[in-house]
Amino acid sequence: MALHIEKIAKSRISEVDFNNLQFGHEFTDHMFECDFEDGEWQNPVIKPYQPILFDPSAKVFHYGQAVFEGMKAYKDDDDKIWLFRPEQNQERINISAERLDMPSFPKDLFFEGLTTLLKIDSEWIQKGEGNSLYIRPFIIATEHGISASASNRYKFMIICSPVQAYYAGEVRVVIADKYSRSANGGVGYAKAAGNYAGSFYPARLAREKGFQQVVWTDSCTHEYLEEAGVMNVFFRINNTLLTAPTSDRILDGITRKSIIQFLESEGIDIEVRPIKVTEIVEAARKGELLEMFGAGTAAVVSPILGFSHQGENFELPKVENSYASFIKKSITAIQQNKAEDKFGWRYEVK
């Protein structure tokens, strides 16, 4: 099927202050859109970024059939545009869609829409340290009617937002012992919109106590550590990094799997295994817990300075030449085409 392109009459780029961007609040001139009707995806179009009209009974509003991805595009000093492991995002949005009984989106159309959109809005991808274009593909249910069943109509879209280096400030976390992000047999491994909605309330309770985020634990016993906020989480005990294995409760993060592969290539000890809360608390008491950090698309790596568990607070030591800073510097250099990509992660938009 042919991709139709409608270009904006006048770009809004001159209205944007690229030196003072609030994450995810400014959007590029165009967006990609495609509809699923009569059992197939059809009418792919790139058109000016604009509001979209839905029936109030659209099933996305009532039954939460919505999945999404997060990606970034970078521009190097030669004005070449690079993506980071985009095939992983394409595969994962369809894994998420399947779990919510939504149709998969074709790989060739995903890449045609994405790369064409990036080339049309290439001026929005700013060069320079920390600058990138955040990309949000998503699928939502659009059939009207409030019968409790899967939709038979959907909309796939890609919107893009220029961003600067993500800095979360000083982060301290609470280890969850009541609320859960996901459960066995649930949708935790999918990037389903409802996963994030359910996490906001516990996160607010944590902020009210002076913490910035929640480290989630397993829903059955709250004995095992899983994720940090909306990121995968790593722990450094002495010179070994630990992270939990993926499961139907834990998102298979692309940054997470990249960090694991990178560390293995560097000969740094990393263990992917279940991690007990008591193990981390005991390591902190002994002074052996040297680092904690989250890993995800927005920040790549976000250091955690301290944590609380059942009212007991722990501060982590300040470590010179931290693993977190080494990983972030190394991964971002690959993403921005400033270092050799021996893994084949970069994807050039031509």
Q: Which two tokens stand for residue 190?
A: 């999918």
Check whether residue 206 and residue 306 sit in a common domain.
yes
Distance between CA atoms of 131 and 228, rounded to whole angstroms? Answer: 24
Token code pair at residue 324: 């977190």
Distance separating alpha carbons of residues 157 and 31, to the nearest angstrom: 7
How many CB atoms neighbour CB 185 within 10 A? 8
193: in domain: yes
**C-alpha closest to that of 195 among 292, 99, 106:** 99
- Does residue 130 belong to any structural domain of this protein? yes
* Statement to judge: residues 140 and 93 lie in one domain: yes
Tell whether 280 is covered by a domain.
yes
- Of 110, 129, 163, the residue that ends a domain is 163
Q: Which of 163, 196, 224 is the last residue of a domain?
A: 163
CATH code of residue 292: 3.20.10.10
* pLDDT tens-place values along the chain, 350 residues long: 899 999 999 999 999 999 999 999 999 999 999 999 999 999 999 999 999 999 999 999 999 999 999 999 999 999 999 999 999 999 999 999 999 999 999 999 999 999 999 999 999 999 999 999 999 999 999 999 999 999 999 999 999 999 998 777 889 999 999 999 999 999 999 999 999 999 999 999 999 999 999 999 999 999 999 999 999 999 999 999 999 999 999 999 999 999 999 999 999 999 999 999 999 999 999 999 999 999 999 999 999 999 999 999 999 999 999 999 999 999 999 999 999 999 999 999 99
Q: Does a structural domain hold residue 220?
A: yes
Residue 168: per-residue pLDDT: 72
Q: Are residues 64 and 184 in the same domain?
A: no
Q: What is the pLDDT of residue 165?
A: 85
Residues 304 and 293: their CA atoms lie apart, in Å, by: 5
pLDDT value at position 31? 98
DSSP state of 76: -
∠ CA(215), CA(220), CA(222), 5° rounding?
35
**Tokens 């050799």 identify what position?**
340
Residues 151 and 225 in one domain: no
Q: Which domain holds residue 57?
A: 4-163
Token duo for residue 63 = 């039954």
Last residue of a domain, one of 146, 163, 180: 163
Q: Is residue 341 one of the residues assigned to a domain?
A: no
Task: State the Cα–Cα distance between residues 196 and 201, nearest whole angstrom.
Answer: 10
Q: What is the pLDDT of residue 167?
A: 72
**CA distance linking residue 56 with residue 309, whole number of Å:** 43
Same domain for 215 and 107?
Answer: no
- Tell me how many domains the chain contains: 2
DSSP state of 4: E
Within a domain: residue 350? no
Residue 102 lies in a domain: yes
Q: Are residues 185 and 285 in the same domain?
A: yes
CA atoms within 13 A on the CB side of 270: 21
Task: Kindly state whether residues 234 and 277 are assigned to the same domain.
Answer: yes
Q: Using CA atoms, how far apart are residues 296 and 231, in angstroms rounded to an integer?
A: 5
In angstroms, the first-to-last Cα distance of the chain is 21
CATH number, domain of 87, equals: 3.30.470.10
Instruction: Please give the pLDDT value at position 315.
Output: 98
- Whether the CA torsion 259, 264, 268, 274 is positive or negative: it is positive
275 and 320 within one domain? yes
